Amino acid sequence: ANKLGSKKERTLALIKPDVVTKIGDVLELIYSSNLIVTKAKMTKLTWSQATDFYLEHQSKPFFNNLVQFVSSGPVVAMELMGDEAMSIWRRLLGPTDSAVARREAPQSVRAQFGTDGVKNVGHGSDSFAAAARELEFFFPSTIGHGPSNTALYTDC
């Protein structure tokens, strides 16, 4: 942390296919939370890429639905930066299930724009290790080998 105690972090925010056409609304909420977009890319994941991205959920009952959904149309991957970017973005998203989000966090992104437990607008990294892996997944380093995003925590 710097003199003012701020902790600038970077995190991956993935806008899922259900709301790619409403990305402006999501960006307004991101900017309102004092996060900035430092990288962005629209892409379409193949089944195999979606499987890689969500490998940690391989054994879950919803895995096939999730992979099918996230590879069903374009997604927008963004690197967000700001104080506590990881937890701020996940709080902005709200509870995983959009219906729960509408009950418990009506201002959240999933409450406002989500459909259900799978079509739930977005993904956010849940740890520094996940952020490093997920940023490298969408924004691979072009120089050298291995992750370039080791400086996820900077003093600025």
Distance CA(84)–CA(11), nearest Å, equals: 9
The CB density around residue 69, as the number of other CB atoms within 10 Å, is 17
> Is position 119 annotated in a ligand binding site?
no
Q: Which residue has the tokens 């996060």?
A: 35
Distance CA 83, CA 33 (A): 10
Going by C-alpha positions, the residue among 1, 11, 2 that lies closest to residue 129 is: 11
- Residues with Cβ within 8 Å of residue 32, at least 6 apart in sequence: none
Site stretch for ligand RTP (CB under 6 A), options 32-40, 45-53, 101-109, 117-125 = 117-125
Nearer to ligand RTP by C-beta: 63 or 154?
A: 63
Site string for ligand RTP, 80-109 (x = CB under 6 A): ----------------x-------------
Q: Which of 2, 36, 38, 62 binds ligand RTP (CB under 6 A)?
A: 62
Q: Which listed residue (92, 123, 132, 152) binds ligand RTP by CB under 6 A?
A: 123
Binding site for ligand RTP (CB under 6 A): 57, 62, 66, 96, 117-118, 120, 123-124, 126
